[in-house]
Structure 1
């Protein structure tokens, strides 16, 4: 993952534009009518509209992949190959399928599976351990939803490769990428905890649970502030053994919360749940706007995905601990804002900031985060 990404023809064309405009207006009108909240399925309908926009504005049927941006502009549509964005696209399709049981999501998952393989030389392996973890997590969820054996096998193969990223530099942990084995960070370790724990639930192999615990212990001891629960991004990025304490991102908090949730589900050891609650509580101090309760904009490119990862794992904590009313309120506050202020006026494309109008070109990463948020709101609505 990269950080800091002739007249008759005119009349016909004009007519087409009018028809398209009317169609969009009708679609958005249906969504806007939901603002009053009178419908019991308000968030599910909004999630439907966002998923529909994702397909219509980003999906490339020929390649079996989502484009990098909408509108699609020249080569930037397809290059670079944003592998880890596509992992989260898999997750978003699974969200839609789990919520609706509509087979269109399952069909698109199959196309995306093949599209990624075709683009990545017939394999899912790459040089970034965190990228492979996102992909393995997504395909394991896809398997759980669809029971398509291909997806489980992809996740297991990736897990075997991911384990090779562990070494004793910086006291342990999985490296961020193969070319930099002594740089360890949260996005290469906390998601691996979640993955190992979920694989253990499938295999019941004690070695997988041991991996989850070992990775968690390293993460907690090395990259978490014991006083506040704030999760730091990484250590030894510049070869100096220093922890990047000024690098604090929403997705780092999310995956550490998710790691604690998964281990608590399996072991019922209270410390894991306590850790997750502590980091979640610290969001108010380090990330939320005091005035509005909004999560920050973390830019476009990879940063566009960060909040989406956080809200996914906040959702997992809420499922485990429904008493987290403050977290539910935070998700719904952000969902209300992204729909009211962070959405395009003539489409269902979203902004990096969930409180302001989107840019002319919207990146896939940004769109995916907003869809994740709306899917979480839809899940809350059903409870």
Structure 2
């Protein structure tokens, strides 16, 4: 959710992926009872339900009510709003899902291939994902609308057509779609196509209790994890996860969609084979695909190389998170308690004398129907201190759809002798049998040296704005985007110099207060091929500030010198030398 843009109410640069990421957050809320993110769901609903020109939220014009020429994109949003309805019981979400489904039904066409929903408004392609989504969407509508027969009939018809369409091959794996001659096109078996075939069947089975449907779902599931299926050495693997390939922004989320519906399979069948596979994926993600900043990558087995690194971004996070969410045991708690611990300064650069004090905040939230008298305690590393050590906070939730929030100011004191490296501060919240542990990472550093786009960059990244990092070891800011680093130099610093490995069309500015900026580097030529990549040094001594904690912070901002052509400043590595 750190990547969620509250102004445009989406995850930057991806329309359908934003719907799926919000579904992942919805899955988390449903599974755990933690309802902290209902506000973001509603923010997206209210801000993005109108019409938008091409390029604002999608490459296509948005027609209003989350519909566009991309029929599958429309369906993803329909499922998102049905989940919001399940979480809140607010009828506006169900009404929106019905509106979307009515729009999609306009592209059900029996005149070509005997049925099926077209993938696009131009009616060029009938494929697996659009029709798997249609089965799930219509079955979910039936299961939420009392007395419905309309959507059930459409779901049954779609399931029967899908089974006979030819997209399911002889190995019970789902190829991507149909040729113009209405035969299996033999294209890739993507995990999300297999997942929606399983998920669509499960929801329709819940509506009908037809044993033949569940038997088909199990065949599709067994094929997924069997020989020649979608698993490599026990780990769910996309074809683009190969060491010599890189998944595009769409492919990054496919495995998470599969796991969302695999979790439904486990919950529905209670089959130990399916549960074991789910647990294996969660263990693999946690132990092999998680970096020091708790980011989750695109390759769940964790493989990486210089040419095709394991990529970490919000899409890969949402995808791998689905494996962890599925491993959370049921039933969902009747009430929930959650906490976040946020130091205002995640980096401390100690001076030669004097301790450093970090202001922070412990945020508490709860849902349920009874007051929760919450005991909060904090633990800091040896030699450190956190205040308050303990506190009592009363939370008075008003149901599961309206969580309440409280905050407790904190101060963390870091001794001068603290060793370089990452240190964990822990807060524990207890109330009525509920427990939640929140952790904050504080980096103690006597030097600055990090690759961008990695976990090592994050403590220094003060404001990512709308910058992006789509591969390991780079961060770039196109158009009106920028990114800002904060260097909290020690109070006894007398001089400082930073060196950036940078290219493309950059503007670099420096400030002592994050308000008044001085341009120190600028590329005046329109360079889009990286030919100007070089190490460039900047003297920061004139900008050494004066922070409340005695530090001398310097802010460094990178932006785009030619904002109209999409090749803004790109930084690969940052180092700094200081004299104390």
Compute the TM-score of the two structures, normalised by the length of structure 2.
0.50
Say whether the 8 Å CA contact 2:65–2:100 is kept in structure 1: no
- Please say if residues 199 and 265 of structure 2, whose CA atoms lie closer than 8 Å, have aligned partners that are also in contact: yes
Q: Please show how residues 205-354 of structure 1 align to structure 2 within 5 Å.
A: 205-225=148-168, 227-236=170-179, 239-283=180-224, 284-289=226-231, 291-296=233-238, 298=240, 299-323=247-271, 325-345=272-292, 347-354=293-300
Q: Is the 8 A contact 1:173 1:184 kept in 2?
A: yes
Given that 1:257 and 1:314 are in contact with CA atoms closer than 8 Å, whether structure 2 keeps it comes out as: yes
SS of the residue 1:59 aligns to? coil
User: Residues 350 and 357 of structure 1 are in contact (CA less than 8 Å); yes or no, is this contact kept in structure 2?
Assistant: no
Per the TM alignment, residue 116 of structure 1 is displaced from its structure 2 partner at its CA by 2.9
Q: Quick one: structure 1 residues 360 and 191, their matched pair in 2 at CA, closer, same or farther if it must change by over 3 Å?
A: closer
Alpha carbons of structure 1 residues 115 and 342: separation in structure 2 relative to 1, 3 Å: farther
Alignment of 1:1-383 (within 5 A): 55-56=1-2, 58-67=3-12, 78=13, 82-117=14-49, 119=57, 120=62, 122-167=64-109, 168-179=111-122, 181-203=123-145, 204-225=147-168, 227-236=170-179, 239-283=180-224, 284-289=226-231, 291-296=233-238, 298=240, 299-323=247-271, 325-345=272-292, 347-356=293-302, 359=309, 362-379=312-329
The offset of 1:240, in angstroms, is 4.8
Partner of 2:415: none
Structure 1, unpaired ranges of 5+: 1-54, 68-77
SS of match in other structure, 1:332: helix
Q: Which protein, 1 or 2, shows the higher relative CO under an 8 Å CA cutoff with sep ≥ 6?
A: 1
Cα separation, 2, equivalents of 1:343 and 1:261: 31
Task: Report the structure number with the largest CA radius of gyration.
Answer: 2
1:306-345 Cα offsets, whole Å, 9 max, x none, are 111111111111111002x222111211111111111122
Larger relative strand fraction: 2
Contact 2:82 2:93 in 1 (8 A): yes
Number of aligned residue pairs: 310
Q: CA deviation at 1:254?
A: 0.7
Find the residue that maps to 1:205 and give its secondary structure. coil
Contact 1:294/1:330, CA 8 A, preserved across alignment: no
Determine if contact 2:105/2:117 at 8 Å carries over to the other structure.
Answer: yes
Give the superposed CA RMSD: 2.3
Q: Distance in 2 between matches of 1:300 and 1:340?
A: 24
Tell me how far 1:90 sits from its aligned partner.
2.1
Which residue is 1:31 aligned to?
A: none
Give the 3 Å change call, closer, same or farther, for CA 133–286 of structure 1 in structure 2: farther
8 A Cα contact 1:351 1:357, kept in partner: no
In 2, Cα distance between equivalents of 1:357 and 1:182: 37
Partner secondary structure for residue 126 of structure 2: strand
Unaligned runs of 5+ in 2: 51-56, 241-246, 334-580
| Distance of 1:300 and 1:382 partners within structure 2 | 34
**Is the contact between residue 302 and residue 310 of structure 2 (CA under 8 Å) also seen in structure 1?**
no
Q: Give CA deviations for 1:15-34 in whole Å, capped at 9, x if unaligned.
A: xxxxxxxxxxxxxxxxxxxx
Counterpart of 1:316 in 2: which secondary structure?
helix
| 2:167–2:183 Cα contact (<8 Å) kept | no
Measured in 2, the distance between the counterparts of 1:335 and 1:380 equals: 16
- SS of the counterpart of 1:170? coil
Task: Give yes or no for contact 2:297–2:313 (8 Å, CA) kept in 1.
Answer: no
The superposition leaves residues 148-190 of structure 1 with CA deviations (integer Å, 9 ceiling, x where unpaired) of 22211211110100100111212210000011x1411111111
Partner of 1:10: none
Output the CA distance in 2 between the equivalents of 1:352 and 1:360: 6
Q: Output the CA distance in 1 between the equivalents of 2:323 and 2:275.
A: 11
The alpha carbon displacement at 1:304 in A equals 0.9
